[in-house]
A and B are shown apart, each in its own frame.
Chain A
Amino acid sequence: QQQVKQSPQSLIVQKGGISIINCAYENTAFDYFPWYQQFPGKGPALLIAIRPDVSEKKEGRFTISFNKSAKQFSLHIMDSQPGDSATYFCAARYGGSQGNLIFGKGTKLSVKP
């Protein structure tokens, strides 16, 4: 119940294409869903986050789509660039404000020029 399942494990996209990463969860008590980008040798950087009362959130080229009934959420990266090549993690929070994050296993994205 405290799992977040992320797919695919790796993804190769051509420059200018759309990258889509999916996550699914079981625990309906999760109340906050962030996405992180991590480059080698760096800590994860918060990209964008959504709460379950919103179905979509967009920030620049990054969009989260959230389907509460299906318990799924996804990250879309529009006009993908080689600089987007990194590992992406979805996460879900339990325990309310200041609560703990549960992370997906990560997706390694490669954007080919």
Chain B
Amino acid sequence: SAVISQKPSRDICQRGTSLTIQCQVDSQVTMMFWYRQQPGQSLTLIATANQGSEATYESGFVIDKFPISRPNLTFSTLTVSNMSPEDSSIYLCSVDYYGYTFGSGTRLTVV
């Protein structure tokens, strides 16, 4: 399976600001997935990022709030824009490379 490095591991941000989360994979993959895990909850898919095309967002998530870049087959970023306390969550990237694996996540607290 692939190894995923995610940065930052945690951050505390002021409301109204933006945070960009980076996801680096050690293998070339077609799709990269971004999830949100609210405190004590399950994982919810935000969007799917395919290299060379615009990301596909799930219901309830929009590009203006969560813009995604996918410049190559091993890297993606997720930006959480104009943050509010409700955005406090763990954000995870995932790939399917001989099994769906996850990064260690970015724990975001918005104050």
Contact = CB atoms under 8 A, between A and B. Distances in A.
Contacts, number: 47
B102 A45 contact: yes
A36 B103 CA distance: 13
A113 interface: no
B43 A103 contact: yes
Interface string A72-113: 000000000000000001010100011011111110000000
Contact of A97 (B41, B44, B94, B96): B96
Given A34-B99, A89-B42, A43 B48 contact: no
Given A34-B99, A43-B92, A46-B100, A101 B45 contact: yes
A49 B33 CA distance: 18
Interface residues of B, number: 23
Interface string B1-37: 1001010000000000000000000000011010000
For A42, A91, A98, A101, which residue has the most chain B Cβ atoms within 10 angstroms? A98
Interface size class of A (residues with CB under 8 A): 20 to 34
Interface of B: 1, 4, 6, 30-31, 33, 41-45, 48, 92, 94, 96, 99-105, 107
Which 5 A-B pairs give the minimum distances between C-beta atoms?
Answer: A43-B102, A98-B31, A43-B104, A103-B43, A103-B42
